[in-house]
Amino acid sequence: MDVMGGAVLAVLVVSFTAELFYLATIWQLATSVSVLEEAYGFAAMVKSENLIKGKLGLEIALFFILQSAMGLNHMAFKRLVVEGTDMANKVVYAIICFLLLSTGILF
């Protein structure tokens, strides 16, 4: 691959990743909009897009904070529940991880 092809590939990967983050943030906010208001589906996504219009820095920070929290919850579940040994502790940790996951999805 020549230099020009590598540059085009890099631009496409960066633009795809940025759009993926933007869409994921709108999607996460749309879940909260659909719970709190009478807007569902595509209408909730349009409403959430209007809510974050012009706030790109806040959107990026919110996305990374939420994804980091979900990743930590996933790692805690894997380490404490899947790889755990004591059944009583597994149940307690599973309930805690489920509540954290539910809160993270609705946040």
Nearest residue to 73 (alpha-carbon basis) of 82, 62, 61, 60 = 82
Rounded Cα distance between 101 and 25, Å, is: 17
The mean pLDDT of the chain is 85
31-67 pLDDT per residue, tens = 888 888 888 888 888 888 888 888 878 877 877 888 8
Comparing 68 with 32, which gets the higher pLDDT? 68
pLDDT value of residue 1: 60
Report which DSSP code applies to 81: I
Map out the domains of the chain as residue ranges.
1-53, 55-107
Residue 96 has pLDDT above 80, yes or no: yes
